[in-house]
Structure 1
């Protein structure tokens, strides 16, 4: 802005002179800063570009297999420093994802190996019997051969069925119906538990929701496990516990050591003393049972039974609607 004084006395002319000197002083103060900005701006930009280029080169040479790999962080709160930290956080997440994927691949390889080994045993036995019958037809007892053959095929079919079921149990049940768990436990126990004393303590009308076939399969696996390992008595309890149903299946057998109480739910897991091929089972029954429980938003674990054996504890949410009379078995 230009101030013009026309005419006037000496006071006005003096004031104008002082204004001109102030304006000139300000220009003298600002000019060095402007010059520095002109010369330093490109230098600061060059330094930033060099830092970004360095990060790019480090990313080009990155090895995600090396957990120590990181880009250099300059520190401070500048944009380049924040960029380096963001890159390192991204690298860390990528490494964690790669580790999870590798663990999943290892589990898949182990599962395939265990499944192949498990299937090879009955198939090899079946082949041996058939080859012997072919070589010595006159010495072959046909009824005995057919009996062993059918048992081997039943075992193969059971393993394949369990494997297929395990592959489908990663998601929610295909059907969700209201199931009278009390009636289902009572009927399944009467059907499966033979040769043992059976004690039942069941709350009436305990209703859950889920796939009836899968729930029946889960109960069948738990009762079969108890039947094979009980010395004399099997005790089954069912009660309401808050907003859930709690089922206990206890036996008076050898029990399960605390160190093995999680391992028995792994696929193809057996304990030397309690789970062998001679006593039936491919080591999939408890894995299937826990997977079904998880698919129904429940849980399954094992505790020590007060009667000396093992006590399996199943918890499932109660049905949120309806009454016992309309629930399917």
Structure 2
């Protein structure tokens, strides 16, 4: 069966025309509504571009050291504000790193100047003696000259060895072993503290982890310092304190003023009571001892001595297997 619509073409054309008019009105309405949005978007984009341009200019000024080490921060939580805050945090870290680098450079320059000054003294003494022997060969006692020269060379050698040790400590991996601190202290005391009354009290089997050569050098520096400044007696005590070992080396000498008890661990420092190069060293022994203690996760400082002089206190962690 066939169904025929009368006037079908006319109805279709009318419907299509109506749809086109509706679509055109909607497009016009959308265009009218989109113009303010487009304007707002454009203004927002221009503000963001100005903010980025301002941030770039301020960063260029910071790089050229034409302003402070910060850029302007806008309020709010927009992306530009977060970027400015992130830039300021980065600039603060860079400034702190620059300050640390400058401080390290100053310390290095001071260290080089101190080392040069310290080495100049024995070298000048060597030169003076050689020139005097050259001018007066008939009046020169060769044995005395060689003895003086060897002592001066020993001093130069000790200074250079300590300087090399300080520069390498921490940069070269240490040999870590279980070290019997009790036996090491006993051996060093017997070898180095001569000519004085020695009071020795050592807990048995005090074991620490570390480099035995470095620990031996640290103990030698502490005992040599006590020997040189003691009047009659040196008191050495080693005991366990909690999870650590505590060694005290005390003497009955002149002692160390409270204001100088930290300064004596600086390199090339001698107190007035120990300025004589005949009695003292280069002023590096205590600096080396503290550096070794720190490398072994320990501490070294000065306290009041029960003998009336100075008391050096070394603390190191016990070996994990020997903690009780």
TM-score band (shorter)?
A: 0.7 to 0.9
Aligned to 1:183: 183
Greater Cα shift, 258-267 or 164-173: 164-173
How far does the alpha carbon of each residue in 1:129-164 deviate from its partner, in whole angstroms, 9 at most, with x for none? Answer: 011111111000111101100000000000000001
Q: Does 1:195 align with 2:195?
A: yes
Aligned to 1:120: 120
Partner Cα distance (1:68, 1:257) in 2: 43
Aligned to 2:137: 137
Q: How does 1:64-103 map to 2 (within 5 A)?
A: 68-103=68-103
* Alignment check: 8 A CA contact 2:62 2:68 kept: no
How far does the alpha carbon of each residue in 1:270-302 deviate from its partner, in whole angstroms, 9 at most, with x for none? Answer: 112234323220000000000111111111111
Aligned to 1:305: 305
Shift of residue 259, structure 1, vs aligned partner: 1.1
Aligned to 2:250: 250
Partner Cα distance (1:286, 1:310) in 2: 13
Aligned to 1:20: none
Aligned to 1:157: 157
> Secondary structure in 2 aligned to 1:61?
helix
> Secondary structure in 1 aligned to 2:127?
helix
Unaligned runs of 5+ in 1: 1-25, 324-329
Unaligned runs of 5+ in 2: 1-25
> Secondary structure in 1 aligned to 2:272?
coil
Aligned to 2:204: 204
Between the two proteins, the alignment pairs up a number of residues equal to 300
Partner Cα distance (2:41, 2:67) in 1: 38
> Secondary structure in 2 aligned to 1:311?
strand
* Alignment check: 8 A CA contact 1:301 1:314 kept: yes
Shift of residue 75, structure 1, vs aligned partner: 1.6
RMSD value over aligned CA atoms? Answer: 2.3
Aligned to 1:15: none
> Secondary structure in 2 aligned to 1:273?
helix
Aligned to 1:218: 218
Partner Cα distance (1:66, 1:93) in 2: 19
* Alignment check: 8 A CA contact 1:48 1:80 kept: yes
Shift of residue 176, structure 1, vs aligned partner: 1.1
How far does the alpha carbon of each residue in 1:90-135 deviate from its partner, in whole angstroms, 9 at most, with x for none? Answer: 1111100000000000000000000011001000000110111111
Q: Does 1:34 align with 2:34?
A: yes
Greater Cα shift, 29-38 or 142-151: 29-38
Taking structure 2 as the reference length, what is the TM-score of the superposition? 0.87
Partner Cα distance (2:306, 2:273) in 1: 20
Distance change in 2, residues 1:299/1:171 (3 Å): farther
Distance change in 2, residues 1:254/1:64 (3 Å): farther
Aligned to 2:56: 56
Partner Cα distance (2:199, 2:114) in 1: 37
Aligned to 2:320: 320
Partner Cα distance (2:92, 2:103) in 1: 17
Q: Does 1:271 align with 2:271?
A: yes
Partner Cα distance (2:181, 2:64) in 1: 51
How far does the alpha carbon of each residue in 1:213-255 deviate from its partner, in whole angstroms, 9 at most, with x for none? Answer: 1111000000000011111110000001111111000011111
Partner Cα distance (1:204, 1:196) in 2: 24
Shift of residue 269, structure 1, vs aligned partner: 1.0
* Alignment check: 8 A CA contact 2:303 2:313 kept: yes
Partner Cα distance (1:106, 1:231) in 2: 39
Partner Cα distance (1:283, 1:57) in 2: 52
Distance change in 2, residues 1:67/1:265 (3 Å): farther
Shift of residue 268, structure 1, vs aligned partner: 0.6
